[in-house]
A and B are shown apart, each in its own frame.
Chain A
Amino acid sequence: MDKLIEQSLRALLAREGLQPKEGDLEQFSEIIELYMENLKQLHSVNLGAEELAPVFRPEWTAK
């Protein structure tokens, strides 16, 4: 697995008091790398400043 991704993952897990199951990082390296690569594509689209995520509405009747 890419060193930076592995270090990040270990640090993020440690921050939560977690550690990976033995062998998992090797077993899952391919999917983790593919996911991180495709994550970059998600940011490749120009959505403009006004394209919002679903927004909070303050009305008490709103869900």
Chain B
Amino acid sequence: MGIPEKPLYYLTIHEAQQLIRSRKLSPVELTSAVLDRIAAVDGKLHAFINLMAESAMQEARAAEAEIARGNWRGPMHGIPVAVKDQLDVEGAAARVRQFTQGVGDATAVRKLREAGAVLLGKLHMSSMPGPELPQPRNPWNTEHITGGSSTGSGASVAAGLCLGSLGEDTAGSIRNPSSFCGIAGLKATYGRVSRYGLAPLSWSLDHCGPMARVVEDLAHMLNAIAGHDPRDSTSGTAPVADYTGALREDIKGMTIGVPRDYIDECTQRTEPIVLKRVEQAIGELKSLGARVEEVEVPTLNLATIANAVIYYNEFWAAHKSAAAEVLKSGAAQRRARIYLGILTNSADYIQAQRVRSRVRAEFAEVFKKIDCLALPCQTGPAPLVKDVGPIDTLFKHVVPEYNGPFNLVGLPTLVIPCGFSENNLPIALQLAGKPFDEPTILRAGYTYQQHMKWYERRPAI
């Protein structure tokens, strides 16, 4: 494979790793190109809050030397990545922790380092504490938001400021910015990727996962970061699959469920262009050989509010000892979560957990008939910065929508671009799978991606 005709910073991880392995591309050359790109455009995007350029170049040189000695560690070796602030990095604990100590490298960060990745730095996230930082902008149109809370991850991956990023998702925080910024994002099954070293928002809903430009890059990243971690008591012990090996351009015989009743329930709040693009994408999956079947998950309409109740209660519990400081100096979203958490009583929390059990059982029944679920990811394309208030996201978390239900039940969920709005803003398709069955949704997403090639469009920044 020769170097594709595009800037190095827009190489996918999959392309770059082939070039690095065959020594047609040096990690130093690639990292330099990405750092130059950051210098050129991050003044407009505000994705990075802690650029670690010097250590990144050292890591790139070390990777180059190691590969030259014949010790290629695998596809992530020499690949420049960046992580959401919420993940601890040695010497750069999560700023969002505010009142608790970091742990050094979070497990997912450590695993990426062990795989040879080059760490470029830490990225902005919503509701950062302390002095107000500039809000990241959407590379497709800087008048629009990136979506959050993995704001910097969405902007940086879409604009070529890193080849991949680690994000975190409690109620859509990987999928929302991936959708708005036109990239691929994966909230793996709860327990698939360790939460150790992730500043907690809600222990039982927080998911760490990869964000990248194409599905195969998510698979490469997941291969590196998945697996049991004894330091995370919720970490799963299910065997780790070969996620890149699962990618085949074939979904013949796959059954895709569409929760039509639930989509209809959300229709009033969903822009028609989103429904149109998602329907087109489902039609394409059908044309590629999948069988499409409408399914019903009867209690799904309560899943978002159940997710919110658990989120705010666990947030309140996690921040109780520092609540006075959060209320004094924390961001508006964090203060609001404290108020909502404290207003909820034990019967509410237990009822939310009972609804969680019910919805999980309903999904288990539905998934006996289907391989994955297809639905929208967002109610609309990225809104204008000027139209979004500091706590607007919370309004989406308490009424039926497309993200929270999958945090509630921990199912793996992939988002991929499925087209654009009239004003050239990305729209995404969401695919959810059975617990620990990331291979199926990656395969479905990859097949669709290779057919439609939306990833070939890039923002004009």
Q: Pick from B320, B327, B343, B358: contact of A21, CB below 8 A.
A: B327
A16-B323, A24-B335, A38-B305 given; A52·B357 CB < 8 A: yes
Chain A residues 12 to 34 lying within 8 A of chain B, measured CB to CB, are 12-13, 16-21, 24, 27-28, 30-32, 34
Cβ of A63 within 8 Å of any chain B Cβ, yes or no, is yes
Q: Does A51 contact B (CB under 8 A)?
A: yes
Contacts known (A21-B335, A31-B395, A52-B354); A41 close to B340, Cβ less than 8 A: no
Of A19, A28, A42, the contact of B348 (CB 8 Å cutoff): A42
* Least Cβ–Cβ distance between B313 and chain A, in angstroms: 11
- A28-B336, A42-B306, A47-B358 in contact; A20/B327 too (CB < 8 A)? yes
Given A39-B309, A42-B305, the answer on whether A9 and B353 have CB atoms closer than 8 Å is no
> Min CB distance, A46 to chain B, in Å?
10
Q: B99 at the A/B interface (Cβ < 8 Å)?
A: no
B342 A13 Cβ-Cβ under 8 A: yes
For window 367-405 of chain B, which residues contact chain A by CB distance below 8 Å?
391, 394-395, 398-399
Given A18-B323, A42-B305, A63-B234, A27:B344 Cβ within 8 A: no
Chain B residues with CB under 8 A of A39: 305, 309, 344, 348
* Interface size in chain B (residues, C-beta < 8 A): 37
Q: Please report the C-alpha to C-alpha distance between residue A17 and residue B130 in the assembled complex, in whole angstroms.
A: 23
The reply on B308 being an interface residue by CB < 8 A is: yes
Closest A residue, CB atoms, query B299 = A45
The A-B contact count (CB < 8 A) is: 96
Additional A-B contact list (14), CB under 8 Å, known A18-B323, A31-B336: A8-B343, A9-B343, A16-B342, A21-B328, A30-B395, A35-B308, A38-B398, A39-B348, A43-B348, A45-B299, A45-B355, A45-B358, A51-B358, A53-B353
In-complex Cβ contact of B398 among A8, A18, A35 (8 A): A35
Contacts of A32 in B (CB 8 A): 336, 339-340, 343
Q: Is B258 an interface residue (CB 8 A)?
A: no
Q: In the bound complex, how far is the Cα of B352 from the Cα of A16, in angstroms?
A: 24
Q: Shortest Cβ distance from A62 into chain B, in angstroms? A: 10
**Any chain A CB within 8 A of the CB of B233?**
yes
CA–CA, A44 to B354, complex, Å? 12
B450 at the interface (CB under 8 A from A): no
Q: Determine the chain B residues whose CB is within 8 A of the CB of A63 once the complex forms.
A: 233-234
Within the complex, what minimum Cβ distance (angstroms) separates B230 from chain A? 11
What range describes how many residues of A lie at the interface?
A: 20 to 34
Q: List 12 A-B contacts (CB under 8 A).
A: A16-B323, A17-B324, A20-B339, A31-B391, A34-B399, A38-B399, A42-B305, A42-B309, A42-B348, A42-B351, A42-B352, A53-B353
Q: Which of B303-356 contact A (CB under 8 A)?
A: 305-306, 308-309, 320, 323-324, 327-328, 332, 335-336, 339-340, 342-344, 347-348, 350-356
Q: B residues 271-324 with Cβ under 8 Å of A?
A: 299, 302, 305-306, 308-309, 320, 323-324
**Complex Cα distance A31/B399, Å?**
11
* Residues on the A chain within 8 Å of B353, using CB: 53-54
A58 to B398, CA, bound (A): 34
Contact partners of A13 in chain B: CB under 8 A = 339, 342
> Could you tell me if A12 and B332 are in contact, using CB atoms closer than 8 angstroms?
no
- Contacting B356 at CB < 8 Å: which of A8, A28, A53? A53
Question: Complex formed: what's the CA distance from A8 to B340 in Å?
Answer: 12
Chain A residues near B327: list those with CB within 8 A: 18-21, 24
Interface residues of B in 71-130 (CB under 8 A from A): none
- Bound complex: CA A9 to CA B302 (Å): 24
Contact of A35 among B299, B335, B340, B355 (CB under 8 A): B340
Residues in B with CB closer than 8 Å to A19 are 327
Residues of A within 8 A of B323 (CB): 16, 18
**B67 → A minimal CB distance (Å):** 39
**Is there contact, CB below 8 Å, between A47 and B394?**
no
* CB-nearest residue of chain A to B235: A63
Residues of chain B with a CB closer than 8 A to A43's CB: 347-348, 351
Once the chains bind, are A12 and B394 in contact (CB under 8 Å)?
no
Shortest C-beta distance, B447 to chain A (Å), equals: 35
Question: How many angstroms from the CA of A9 to the CA of B338 in the assembled complex?
Answer: 10
Partner pick for A36 among B343, B357, B391, CB 8 A cutoff: B343
Measured CA separation A30–B88 after assembly (Å): 34
User: Least Cβ distance of A26 to chain B in Å?
Assistant: 12
